[in-house]
Amino acid sequence: MRLDVAVGILKVSDAMDEEIVTVDESISVAEAAARISEKGKGCAIVLKQCRPVGMVTERDITYKVVAKGLNPKKVRVKEIMSTPLIEVDPDADLVTAAKVMDKHKIRRLAVVRKGILYGVISALDIARNLEGYVESEVRKILRYAFFMA
């Protein structure tokens, strides 16, 4: 059985983080950083008129504001967010999500369907879930090899 086919049963919705930090595009980077930190997350989904339009990550804040010596109280989230928002459907499988991340060279995806935000999935979420799947399959193979031979 091929891994990519078998993993198809593991959906994004099973591995995503449903606790989402959202911020309006007009707030300061300092405010966004405080919200991200308060929730212990690595990113926030940026909203414009209550619709998801981008993402701002710890890395964006570090590289685009702090490293350049900009004042995070004066820089607006819309100036540094990653946009357009790269999305994945909650019913997509984890391999599909990983391929989207690889294609765009990103570590997090917004989980969205028809403009509704369901969560965020990270490369770490995918790795954790695939690790359990691989371990389970290895145990099945070993059981077969030792008890069916």
pLDDT higher for 139 or 4?
A: 139
What is the count of structural domains for the chain? 1
Written as six digits, the tokens of 79 are 């100036």
Q: Which residues pair with 93 in a beta bridge?
A: 11
Peptide bond into 84 cis (omega under 30): yes
Q: What percentage of the chain has pLDDT greater than the value 70?
A: 83
| pLDDT given for residue 7 in this prediction | 41
> Does residue 137 register a pLDDT over 80?
no
Q: Residue 44 belongs to what domain range?
A: 3-147
For 115-131, write each residue's pLDDT tens digit: 899 999 999 999 888 77
Sheet with 108-113, edge to edge strand ranges: 87-88, 108-113, 116-122
C-alpha 144/C-alpha 10 separation (Å) is 23
| CATH code (residue 35) | 3.10.580.10
Give the closest residue to 77 by CA, choosing from 11, 136, 131, 33.
33
> Does residue 4 register a pLDDT over 50?
no
For 34-87, write each residue's pLDDT tens digit: 999 999 999 999 999 999 999 999 999 999 999 999 999 999 999 999 999 999
CB 78 within 8 A of CB 25: yes
What is the biggest distance separating any 2 CA atoms in the chain, rounded to whole angstroms? Answer: 69
